[in-house]
Amino acid sequence: MGHSDAPNNPDLYFRQVPLGPMANFIYLIGSRRAGECLVVDPAWSTDALIDIAGRDGMRITGALVTHYHPDHVGGSMLGFTVPGGVAELVGRVDARVHVHKLEADGLKKITGLSEGDMVRHESGDRVQLGDVTVELIHTPGHTPGSQCFLLHDRLVSGDTLFVNGCGRVDLPGSDPAQMYETLTGRLAKLADDVVLYPGHDYGPTPTSTMREQRRTNHYLRIRSLDDWRRMMGR
Protein backbone atom coordinates (compact mmCIF):
# COMPACT_ATOMS: atom_id res chain seq x y z
CA MET A 1 0.00 0.00 0.00
CA GLY A 2 3.06 2.28 -0.14
CA HIS A 3 1.77 3.96 -3.26
CA SER A 4 -1.74 4.49 -1.97
CA ASP A 5 -2.90 8.01 -2.58
CA ALA A 6 -3.05 10.47 0.32
CA PRO A 7 -5.50 13.33 0.95
CA ASN A 8 -4.16 16.68 -0.26
CA ASN A 9 -1.54 14.83 -2.30
CA PRO A 10 0.71 17.68 -3.54
CA ASP A 11 1.57 15.68 -6.66
CA LEU A 12 -2.07 15.33 -7.76
CA TYR A 13 -3.20 17.16 -10.89
CA PHE A 14 -7.00 16.94 -11.22
CA ARG A 15 -9.29 18.93 -13.49
CA GLN A 16 -12.99 18.61 -14.24
CA VAL A 17 -13.74 19.70 -17.83
CA PRO A 18 -17.33 20.28 -19.05
CA LEU A 19 -17.35 19.44 -22.78
CA GLY A 20 -19.83 18.78 -25.61
CA PRO A 21 -23.59 19.25 -26.04
CA MET A 22 -24.62 16.41 -23.69
CA ALA A 23 -23.32 17.98 -20.46
CA ASN A 24 -20.42 15.51 -20.22
CA PHE A 25 -17.70 15.93 -17.63
CA ILE A 26 -14.26 14.83 -18.79
CA TYR A 27 -11.42 14.58 -16.24
CA LEU A 28 -7.69 15.14 -16.48
CA ILE A 29 -5.87 13.23 -13.73
CA GLY A 30 -2.11 13.17 -13.36
CA SER A 31 1.19 13.77 -11.60
CA ARG A 32 2.48 17.35 -11.49
CA ARG A 33 6.01 16.04 -10.81
CA ALA A 34 5.95 13.74 -13.84
CA GLY A 35 4.07 16.32 -15.96
CA GLU A 36 1.86 13.50 -17.24
CA CYS A 37 -1.87 12.95 -17.11
CA LEU A 38 -4.63 10.55 -18.11
CA VAL A 39 -7.93 11.63 -19.63
CA VAL A 40 -11.12 10.05 -18.34
CA ASP A 41 -13.58 9.57 -21.25
CA PRO A 42 -11.91 11.77 -23.91
CA ALA A 43 -14.89 12.41 -26.24
CA TRP A 44 -16.09 15.48 -28.19
CA SER A 45 -12.83 17.38 -28.86
CA THR A 46 -9.32 15.97 -28.81
CA ASP A 47 -7.91 19.44 -29.58
CA ALA A 48 -9.65 21.02 -26.59
CA LEU A 49 -8.32 18.34 -24.22
CA ILE A 50 -4.75 18.48 -25.52
CA ASP A 51 -4.88 22.30 -25.27
CA ILE A 52 -6.16 22.31 -21.69
CA ALA A 53 -3.54 19.79 -20.57
CA GLY A 54 -0.81 21.72 -22.42
CA ARG A 55 -1.76 25.04 -20.84
CA ASP A 56 -1.47 23.34 -17.45
CA GLY A 57 2.02 22.08 -18.37
CA MET A 58 0.79 18.48 -18.62
CA ARG A 59 1.25 15.85 -21.31
CA ILE A 60 -1.51 13.30 -21.98
CA THR A 61 -0.10 9.76 -21.78
CA GLY A 62 -3.25 7.66 -21.52
CA ALA A 63 -7.01 7.41 -21.27
CA LEU A 64 -9.24 5.85 -18.64
CA VAL A 65 -12.56 4.56 -19.97
CA THR A 66 -15.59 4.45 -17.65
CA HIS A 67 -17.71 2.68 -20.31
CA TYR A 68 -18.14 2.38 -24.07
CA HIS A 69 -20.99 4.79 -24.85
CA PRO A 70 -19.98 7.21 -27.65
CA ASP A 71 -20.59 10.36 -25.59
CA HIS A 72 -17.70 9.10 -23.39
CA VAL A 73 -15.30 7.50 -25.89
CA GLY A 74 -16.28 8.85 -29.34
CA GLY A 75 -17.27 6.70 -32.31
CA SER A 76 -20.65 5.42 -33.43
CA MET A 77 -23.47 3.37 -31.92
CA LEU A 78 -26.98 2.86 -33.33
CA GLY A 79 -26.46 5.66 -35.85
CA PHE A 80 -25.31 8.11 -33.18
CA THR A 81 -21.81 9.51 -33.83
CA VAL A 82 -19.61 11.53 -31.48
CA PRO A 83 -16.39 13.32 -32.55
CA GLY A 84 -13.06 13.02 -30.73
CA GLY A 85 -12.68 9.94 -28.55
CA VAL A 86 -10.11 7.30 -27.70
CA ALA A 87 -9.20 6.28 -31.28
CA GLU A 88 -8.52 9.88 -32.31
CA LEU A 89 -6.56 10.48 -29.10
CA VAL A 90 -4.16 7.57 -29.69
CA GLY A 91 -3.66 8.88 -33.23
CA ARG A 92 -2.55 12.24 -31.82
CA VAL A 93 -0.51 11.37 -28.71
CA ASP A 94 1.38 8.33 -27.42
CA ALA A 95 -1.30 6.92 -25.12
CA ARG A 96 -2.69 3.59 -23.89
CA VAL A 97 -6.38 3.17 -23.21
CA HIS A 98 -7.32 1.57 -19.88
CA VAL A 99 -10.62 -0.31 -20.04
CA HIS A 100 -12.35 -3.01 -18.00
CA LYS A 101 -11.95 -6.43 -19.63
CA LEU A 102 -15.73 -6.85 -20.07
CA GLU A 103 -15.98 -3.52 -21.91
CA ALA A 104 -13.00 -3.93 -24.24
CA ASP A 105 -14.70 -5.72 -27.16
CA GLY A 106 -17.56 -3.20 -27.19
CA LEU A 107 -15.06 -0.34 -27.07
CA LYS A 108 -13.24 -1.72 -30.12
CA LYS A 109 -16.48 -2.14 -32.05
CA ILE A 110 -17.77 1.37 -31.30
CA THR A 111 -14.51 3.32 -31.71
CA GLY A 112 -12.37 1.21 -34.07
CA LEU A 113 -9.61 1.15 -31.47
CA SER A 114 -7.04 -1.64 -31.98
CA GLU A 115 -6.22 -4.28 -29.37
CA GLY A 116 -2.63 -3.02 -29.07
CA ASP A 117 -3.84 0.41 -27.92
CA MET A 118 -5.81 -1.06 -25.02
CA VAL A 119 -4.98 -2.36 -21.57
CA ARG A 120 -7.69 -4.76 -20.36
CA HIS A 121 -8.21 -4.44 -16.60
CA GLU A 122 -9.66 -6.35 -13.67
CA SER A 123 -11.42 -4.66 -10.78
CA GLY A 124 -8.87 -3.55 -8.16
CA ASP A 125 -6.13 -2.83 -10.69
CA ARG A 126 -4.16 0.35 -10.12
CA VAL A 127 -2.67 2.81 -12.57
CA GLN A 128 0.27 4.82 -11.24
CA LEU A 129 1.51 8.23 -12.40
CA GLY A 130 4.23 9.74 -10.21
CA ASP A 131 2.85 9.73 -6.65
CA VAL A 132 -0.74 9.48 -7.87
CA THR A 133 -2.56 6.13 -7.72
CA VAL A 134 -5.83 5.51 -9.52
CA GLU A 135 -7.76 2.43 -8.40
CA LEU A 136 -10.13 0.86 -10.93
CA ILE A 137 -13.41 -0.43 -9.49
CA HIS A 138 -15.76 -2.57 -11.58
CA THR A 139 -19.27 -1.11 -11.25
CA PRO A 140 -21.54 -3.02 -13.69
CA GLY A 141 -25.17 -2.08 -14.29
CA HIS A 142 -25.25 0.79 -16.78
CA THR A 143 -23.03 -1.41 -19.00
CA PRO A 144 -21.38 -4.81 -18.25
CA GLY A 145 -17.86 -3.39 -17.92
CA SER A 146 -18.55 0.03 -16.40
CA GLN A 147 -15.84 1.09 -13.98
CA CYS A 148 -15.26 3.95 -11.55
CA PHE A 149 -11.90 5.47 -10.61
CA LEU A 150 -11.00 6.02 -6.96
CA LEU A 151 -8.24 8.41 -5.88
CA HIS A 152 -8.22 8.25 -2.09
CA ASP A 153 -11.04 10.75 -1.47
CA ARG A 154 -12.32 11.29 -5.01
CA LEU A 155 -14.56 8.99 -7.03
CA VAL A 156 -14.82 9.52 -10.79
CA SER A 157 -18.04 7.69 -11.52
CA GLY A 158 -18.88 7.88 -15.25
CA ASP A 159 -22.56 7.05 -15.81
CA THR A 160 -22.80 4.80 -12.75
CA LEU A 161 -23.60 7.51 -10.18
CA PHE A 162 -24.61 11.13 -10.72
CA VAL A 163 -25.19 13.91 -8.22
CA ASN A 164 -28.71 12.96 -7.03
CA GLY A 165 -29.09 10.33 -9.78
CA CYS A 166 -27.72 7.19 -11.38
CA GLY A 167 -27.13 5.88 -14.90
CA ARG A 168 -29.87 4.38 -17.07
CA VAL A 169 -30.43 0.65 -16.82
CA ASP A 170 -32.89 0.32 -19.73
CA LEU A 171 -30.25 0.37 -22.50
CA PRO A 172 -28.83 -2.63 -24.43
CA GLY A 173 -26.26 -4.23 -22.10
CA SER A 174 -27.71 -2.63 -18.98
CA ASP A 175 -28.63 -4.80 -16.00
CA PRO A 176 -30.84 -3.40 -13.21
CA ALA A 177 -29.91 -6.14 -10.71
CA GLN A 178 -26.20 -5.53 -11.26
CA MET A 179 -26.74 -1.78 -10.82
CA TYR A 180 -28.52 -2.44 -7.51
CA GLU A 181 -25.53 -4.47 -6.32
CA THR A 182 -23.09 -1.79 -7.50
CA LEU A 183 -24.98 1.02 -5.75
CA THR A 184 -25.79 -0.74 -2.49
CA GLY A 185 -22.86 -3.15 -2.30
CA ARG A 186 -19.99 -1.01 -3.52
CA LEU A 187 -20.63 2.71 -3.81
CA ALA A 188 -22.86 3.17 -0.77
CA LYS A 189 -19.97 1.92 1.38
CA LEU A 190 -17.51 4.65 0.37
CA ALA A 191 -16.45 7.01 3.17
CA ASP A 192 -18.47 10.16 3.88
CA ASP A 193 -15.73 12.53 2.75
CA VAL A 194 -15.23 10.94 -0.67
CA VAL A 195 -16.16 13.52 -3.32
CA LEU A 196 -18.24 12.32 -6.27
CA TYR A 197 -17.13 13.47 -9.74
CA PRO A 198 -19.82 12.27 -12.18
CA GLY A 199 -19.70 11.75 -15.96
CA HIS A 200 -22.47 14.30 -16.63
CA ASP A 201 -23.51 17.61 -15.12
CA TYR A 202 -27.05 16.45 -14.31
CA GLY A 203 -27.33 17.50 -10.67
CA PRO A 204 -27.80 20.79 -8.82
CA THR A 205 -24.01 20.97 -8.33
CA PRO A 206 -21.09 19.61 -10.42
CA THR A 207 -19.76 17.54 -7.48
CA SER A 208 -21.00 16.34 -4.12
CA THR A 209 -19.77 14.34 -1.15
CA MET A 210 -20.89 10.78 -0.47
CA ARG A 211 -22.15 12.10 2.90
CA GLU A 212 -24.51 14.44 1.02
CA GLN A 213 -25.40 11.80 -1.55
CA ARG A 214 -26.43 9.30 1.12
CA ARG A 215 -28.88 11.99 2.29
CA THR A 216 -30.19 13.30 -1.06
CA ASN A 217 -29.67 10.59 -3.70
CA HIS A 218 -32.65 8.19 -3.74
CA TYR A 219 -30.59 5.59 -5.58
CA LEU A 220 -28.28 5.20 -2.58
CA ARG A 221 -31.23 4.74 -0.20
CA ILE A 222 -32.81 1.64 -1.68
CA ARG A 223 -33.70 -1.01 0.89
CA SER A 224 -34.16 -4.09 -1.30
CA LEU A 225 -33.96 -5.39 -4.84
CA ASP A 226 -37.79 -5.44 -4.94
CA ASP A 227 -37.94 -1.74 -4.00
CA TRP A 228 -35.34 -1.06 -6.68
CA ARG A 229 -37.34 -2.93 -9.35
CA ARG A 230 -40.46 -0.98 -8.41
CA MET A 231 -38.50 2.26 -8.63
CA MET A 232 -37.24 1.28 -12.09
CA GLY A 233 -40.78 0.36 -13.17
CA ARG A 234 -40.06 -3.30 -13.86
Binding interface with Zn ion (CB under 5 A): 69, 159
| Cβ closest to Zn ion, residue 60 vs residue 110 | 110
Q: How far is residue 206 from each of residues 50, 116, 142, measured CA to CA in Å?
A: 22, 35, 20
| Cβ closest to Zn ion, residue 154 vs residue 200 | 200
| Cβ closest to Zn ion, residue 50 vs residue 102 | 102
Task: Give me the least distance between CB of 159 and Zn ion, in Å please.
Answer: 4
| Cβ closest to Zn ion, residue 110 vs residue 190 | 110
Burial class (CB in 10 A: 0-12, 13-18, 19+), 40: buried
146 φ/ψ sector (left φ>0, alpha ψ -120 to 50, else beta): beta
Task: Give me the least distance between CB of 9 and Zn ion, in Å please.
Answer: 29
Q: How far apart are CA 160 and CA 179, in angstroms?
A: 8
Task: Give me the least distance between CB of 115 and Zn ion, in Å please.
Answer: 23
Beta pairing, strands 126-129 & 132-138: antiparallel
| Cβ closest to Zn ion, residue 98 vs residue 152 | 98
Task: Give me the least distance between CB of 142 and Zn ion, in Å please.
Answer: 6
Task: Give me the least distance between CB of 202 and Zn ion, in Å please.
Answer: 12
| Residue partners of 150: CB distance under 8 A and separation at least 6 | 134, 135, 137, 156, 190, 194
- Asked whether 157 and 182 are in contact (CB, 8 A), the reply is no
